Every structure is written in structure tokens, then in C-alpha cells.
Amino acid sequence: MDISFRSERAMTVFFGRSGAGKSVTLRSIAGLVVPDSGTIKVGDKVYFDSKSRINLTPQERRTGYVFQSYALFPHLTVAENLLLAMKTVPKRETRYEVRELLEEVGIPELHDRLPGDLSGGEQQRVALARALARNPQVLLLDEPFSAVDVPSRVRLRTLLKRVQRHRNIPTILVTHQALEAFTLGELIVVMDHGKVEQVGPPEEIFYRPKTLTTARLVGVKNIFPGVISEISQDTVYIKQNGKVWEAASLSGLHLSPDQRVSWCIRPEAVMLLREDRPLSLKRENRLSGVIEEVEQRGPVWELFVVSKEGMDLKIELPVHAAQHMGVTEGKEVLVSLKKEAIHIIPEIPDSGF
């Protein structure tokens, strides 16, 4: 594994598939695994440095760790679970501190209960309170919401954001869910196969992925090969199968004519054109095709369109739009790929994923 990142944001998210190395990285920050080499710093405090042979024990590191399984001590009450972490607090203040913490996470009434009698969401809150009990320098959360149902997941996210802002404590959260990474992260570290793929704010990761791996991880489903044919002031022209596509030129990418690239567009950015509208309206990157498949996914419908040129396109439409346009399988449609939504990745697509 080879991981390197630096975050000055309050909420950093490790994002990637399972086995990407997210949890191991989190564990090494807490001191639960020892890296072969490198440096780990939290604030000004050096936790680990292989060169100067610094390796603080987990006990010396003051991290607040929330485990995926919560790892609450089943033989101790909620209050006792918290008390264990409060060695530095004077005895007479601990009772008060425990109450404060439980208030903060919204479960003061669970003080004397055993973890086994609590719901997943309640256990999650206890785990968070316990992680905060030591007044940690950094909060580490390993897939904290994976074991709770969706409604409590939303409430817990809100709680986490509030606690995190209120305490102003740097936080690292591990997740394999793109949506969670997008909504919670201020900085996202995309990991794959033990390496960092990309580091950046959510908008950049989701709309301007730098590698094909990142693009696929964040749900960019339409990825095509192409060759740069021309670069103008504000437009990049990409040739593919005799057709030329226009993409908005993006600074920061060093492209040159004849370069082989990948270009992609998010499924929700593909526009379905209405037949009753005059065709004279300027629409870039038009293509026509047939709806092969419609998948209704609650608020969003996913269409699978095959164009006349044989391109496979995935399109996501809000229900009302899909119904309004009478989307059905077998229907011929006209599609526009907005120039601004087309993103170029200077990498040649491979077949496997």
C-alpha cells in the first residue's frame, strides 16, 4: 500500500471500494496497525515517523475511533462505556461529563442501558459519544452508517455534522458510498488497490475525475474513447467513429491534437430533447437512438439508449421528466450531450472494470 494525502479540511472522506485500503489507513492513523514506512501527523503532533523512529502507541495518540461494528463493550452500561475513556477527568466531574456527552448525541435517557438492548442507531450514537469522551485530536469513523437503516442514517449524518462543527474537530470518515462521500466530504481522498487515485473537493472528484478509475467509482457511466482533433479557445473537438464531439475546454488539462483520450458524461447530465420543440434551437452534440431499456428507480428513471452509431448511453431522468416525455422501451429519441458536461480524461479506456 502507498497512501499519501494532506488535509486541512474539517471533514475528509476516504472513498473507494472495499479492499481499497481505506480502513487500514484509518487504523494506521489510530496506531492499530504500523506502516512499514512514512509519516503520520495530526496537527503539529507526529504520530509516526519511520525515519526518526517515532511510533506512538494508540493510547498516546488521542484519536476518537468509531468502529464499523461500534465495538461497544457489551458487559458495561452506556455510561460505563464512556467512563472508561475518561481517566484524565477528575472523578467528581465524570458523572456530569457523561451526561453532557449523552445530551450532545441526543440519548441522555440511555445512560444505564446495556449496548445489547440498543438499536443500531442508538449504538452508533453511543460509539460517537465514547469516541469523543477522550477529547480527541482527530475523529476517525470507519463506515459508521453502514449498519443502520436509511432514516436514521440521515439523522446520524446531520448529528455528525453538527457535532463536528460545534467541536471544530478534524474528522476522517471512511465510506464506499459515493453519495455519502459527496454529501459529507469537504475533501475526498479516492483510494483504489492501496493507492490514492485522486484528492480533491467533492465537485472536482464527481465532475472532473482525473482517472478512469475515479470516474467509474463516482458513477460516471458513459465513458468513450476518442482522439483530439482540434483545440480552440473554448472548445475541444474529439473525433470518434467519424463523428466530432464538442467539449468545453478546461484549463489544467494538457491536451494536444491527435492525442488519444477518454471522454465521459454523467448519466444525469445527458439531455433528452423534446420532439415538439423546433430543431433550429442550437443544441450541441446531438445524436439519435432507441430506448432499449427503462429501469424505474424511485425518483429517478434510468434509460439505456443505443444510438444509430452504436454508442451505448445511460441516461438518468427525474420521474416527472420521464413521464412527461412518454419514455417507453423501443421509442426513438433525440439526445444532446451538453458541451459543458463532457469531461475529458487523458487516459485510454480499457475494457475491464
Partner 1 sequence: MLGEVSLFPFWLSLKVATIATLLVILVGLPLAYFLARKRFAGSEIIVASTMLPIVLPPTVLGYYLLVLLGRNTIFGKFYEGIAGSPLVFTWQGAVVASAVASSPYIVRTAMAAIQSVPREMEDAARTLGLSELQIALRITLPLAWKGILAGVVLAYAKAIGEFGATLMIAGNIPGETQTLPIAIYDAVQAGKSDLANLLSISLAVLAISAVLLVGGLGKSRL
Q: 3-state class of 312 per DSSP?
A: strand
Q: At closest approach, how far in Å is the CB of 193 from partner 1? A: 24
Distance CA 107, CA 128 (A): 11
- Cβ atoms of 264 and 282 within 8 Å: the answer is no
Q: At closest approach, how far in Å is the CB of 141 from partner 1? A: 12
- Integer angstrom CA distances of residue 115 from 80, 83, 111, 135, 156: 11, 14, 10, 22, 18
Q: At closest approach, how far in Å is the CB of 30 from partner 1? A: 5
List, in sequence order, every residue forming a beta bridge with 263; answer none if it has no partner.
224, 344
Cell of 88: 484524565
Spell 11-28 as b/e; 16+ CB within 10 A means b: bbbbbbeeebbbbbbbbb
Cell of 322: 420521464
Out of 22, 125, 134, 314, point to the residue binding partner 1 (CB under 8 A). 134
Q: Which stretch binds partner 1 (CB under 8 A): 44-52, 81-89, 177-185, 305-313?
A: 81-89
- CA within 13 Å, CB half, 90: 2
Q: Does 48 bind partner 1 (CB under 8 A)?
A: no
Out of 10, 46, 56, 71, point to the residue binding partner 1 (CB under 8 A). 71
Q: Which stretch binds partner 1 (CB under 8 A): 9-17, 51-59, 154-162, 204-212?
A: 51-59
Q: Does 266 bind partner 1 (CB under 8 A)?
A: no
Q: At closest approach, how far in Å is the CB of 60 from partner 1? A: 9
Q: 73 or 96, CB closer to partner 1?
A: 73
- Cβ atoms of 225 and 311 within 8 Å: the answer is no
Q: Which stretch binds partner 1 (CB under 8 A): 63-71, 95-103, 183-191, 192-200?
A: 63-71
Q: Does 32 bind partner 1 (CB under 8 A)?
A: yes
Out of 9, 50, 67, 331, point to the residue binding partner 1 (CB under 8 A). 67
Q: Does 59 bind partner 1 (CB under 8 A)?
A: yes
Out of 38, 58, 194, 225, point to the residue binding partner 1 (CB under 8 A). 58
Distance CA 143, CA 204 (A): 22
Q: At closest approach, how far in Å is the CB of 304 from partner 1? A: 42
Residue with cell 487523458: 346
Q: Does 222 bind partner 1 (CB under 8 A)?
A: no
Q: Does 69 bind partner 1 (CB under 8 A)?
A: yes
Residues 121/122/127/131 CA torsion (nearest 10 deg): 100
- How many other C-beta atoms are found inside a 10 Å radius of the C-beta of residue 351? 4
Number of chain residues interacting with partner 1 (CB under 8 A): 26
Out of 13, 133, 287, 315, point to the residue binding partner 1 (CB under 8 A). 133
Q: At closest approach, how far in Å is the CB of 4 from partner 1? A: 23
Q: Give the length of the chain.
A: 353
Helices 120-132, 91-104: crossing angle, 10 deg rounding: 140
- How many other C-beta atoms are found inside a 10 Å radius of the C-beta of residue 237? 17
Q: At closest approach, how far in Å is the CB of 32 from partner 1? A: 5
Among residues 213, 183, 180, 174, the alpha carbon closest in space to that of 195 is found at 213
Binding mask 167-206 for partner 1 (x = CB under 8 A): ----------------------------------------
Q: Does 87 bind partner 1 (CB under 8 A)?
A: yes
Q: Does 75 bind partner 1 (CB under 8 A)?
A: yes
Q: At closest approach, how far in Å is the CB of 202 from partner 1? A: 28
Distance CA 140, CA 30 (A): 8
Residues forming contacts to partner 1 in the complex (CB under 8 A) are 27, 30-32, 57-59, 61-65, 67, 69, 71-75, 84-85, 87, 130-131, 133-134
